[in-house]
Structures are given as structure tokens and as C-alpha cells.
Amino acid sequence: MSDRELVITNYVTAYNNCDVDAMVADFDETIIFQNIVNDEVTMELCGLEEFRQQAEQAIQVFSSRKQSIKTFIHNENWSEIELDYYGVMAVDLPNGMKNGDELNLSGKSVFEFYDNKITRLTDIS
């Protein structure tokens, strides 16, 4: 397993365990996060503190959640994972999802690196 694969695997494991401190352990202070759904940016966060706050809030939305890595693709400054996502809602959301509803998605996450730190994370579904 490459260094990047280890960093990404650690992030996904921490995500699945709802461990925000471990999720951000390899993030740069200036991390940029984007969530893209159907080619539309639905969320953009700048900086470690903003990401941390959102991650802590997101934990409350799901009674359980799991990302499963299917593949890794590496380039010079970035790595991409294809993944399956499963979650069970813990609250009712404005988009119509209700407490107990299951969410199943496939997508990808792109991790950009500088000096072995994640500087940008883009989730695409």
C-alpha cells in the first residue's frame, strides 16, 4: 500500500468510525472541501476549522454510515477513490429524507496532496 493509500484509508476508517480528529489528522490547515452532486457544487468549505465543524455536525445526521473503497487511481499530485456509500438517517431533512431512511450512493473522492498533507478533498456523487 502506498503512503497516499494509507492516508486515504485512514481517513475513510476515521469517517466510518465518526472520529473527526482522526479524519483531519493528515489535512493541511488550508484544506478546501467541495461536495458535488450532479455536477453542482452543494457545499464548499475552506480551512481546517470549517471542515471540522461541518464533520461534527454531519455525524449527528446519521445513525450509521460507511464508505467502502472500491478502487484507487493515482496521479502526480492527486489520488482518487471510487467508493460505495451507505448511511441511515438519524433525523428528518428538508430534502424529504426521514429518520430511518437508508441512503445508498456510489461516487468518488479526489484527494489533492502537498508535502504529504491533504490540501483539497472533493466528494462527487
Distance (Å, whole) CA 95 – CA 26: 32
Sequence-distant (6+) residues with CB within 8 A of 1 are: 9
Residue 33 has a pLDDT of 98
Query: Mean of the pLDDT values across residues 16-40?
Result: 96
Per-residue pLDDT tens digits for 59-102: 999 999 999 999 999 999 899 999 999 999 999 998 899 999 99
Query: For residue 35, is pLDDT > 90?
Result: yes
Distance (Å, whole) CA 38 – CA 36: 7
Residue 116 has a pLDDT of 85
Q: Which set of grid coordinates corresponds to residue 44?
A: 464548499
Query: For residue 118, is pLDDT > 80?
Result: yes
Domains of the chain from N-terminus onward = 3-124 (3.10.450.50)
Residue 77 has a pLDDT of 86
CA distances 95 to 62, 64, 98, 103, 118, Å, are 15, 19, 9, 13, 31
Per-residue pLDDT tens digits for 36-54: 999 999 999 999 999 999 9
Rounded to the nearest 5°, which phi and psi values hold at 53?
Answer: -60, -45
Rounded to the nearest 5°, which phi and psi values hold at 9?
Answer: -60, -40
User: Computed over its alpha carbons, how large is the radius of gyration of the chain?
Assistant: 14
106 in Cβ contact with 125 (< 8 Å) = yes
